Amino acid sequence: MRLKSIRIGGALIAATALLFAGAQQASAQVMMTGDWTLEVSTDNGVTMPELTLEQDGMKLTGHYVSEALGANEVTGTVDGNKVTVSFMASLEGVGEASVLYIGTVDDEGVWSGTIDILDGQLTGTFTAKKN
């Protein structure tokens, strides 16, 4: 962030501006705690997983359940309105598979973005809403 210098009380004005900018960033942090229903679209079809999240600052933990990927413990991060959630799923015939959800939360509270399974071997999109 770039601030213009103001000679009269400039230090106080600059410090106030920095505090105000920090408060704006903090207020822009989305709150992900709660139960979410996702609609996931991949080449394999559409699924409707359930996700329960707990948020501690920027850190997320929780539980994910879907017919396709089973029940899994998740971790993630929140940075403003950008949200990332990941876990390892056990897939029949494949073994352990990394699963990564990356998206943003809009002004309506809808989280949407992309899903990546097995490091790009299966990708898709998702939207999620709090229950």
∠ Cα 107 35 120 (to 5°): 80
pLDDT value at residue 17: 45
Report CA-CA distances (Å) from 3 to 7, 8, 27, 61, 121: 12, 14, 21, 37, 46
Query: Is the same domain home to 104 and 43?
Result: yes
107 phi and psi angles, rounded to 5 deg = -65, -20
23 and 84 assigned to the same domain: no
Whole-number pLDDT of residue 28: 79
Read off the CATH number of the domain in which 76 is found. 2.40.128.120
Residues 2 and 38 in one domain: no
Judgement on whether residues 104 and 54 belong to the same structural domain of the protein: yes
Residues 93 and 117 in one domain: yes
Domain match, 102 and 120 both: yes
Q: Specify whether 11 is located in the same domain as 69.
A: no
pLDDT of 39: 98
Mean pLDDT of residues grouped by 10 in the chain (131 residues)? 49 46 59 98 96 98 96 98 97 91 97 96 97 96
Structural domains in the chain (count): 2
Answer yes or no: do 75 and 111 share one domain: yes
Closest CA to 84 of 98, 102, 99: 102
DSSP label at residue 35: E
Q: Are 53 and 23 members of one domain? A: no
d(C-alpha 32, C-alpha 119), whole Å: 25
Is the domain of 40 the same as that of 25?
no
| pLDDT, position 34 | 98
The residue segments making up the domain with residue 9 are 1-29
One domain, residues 13 and 73? no
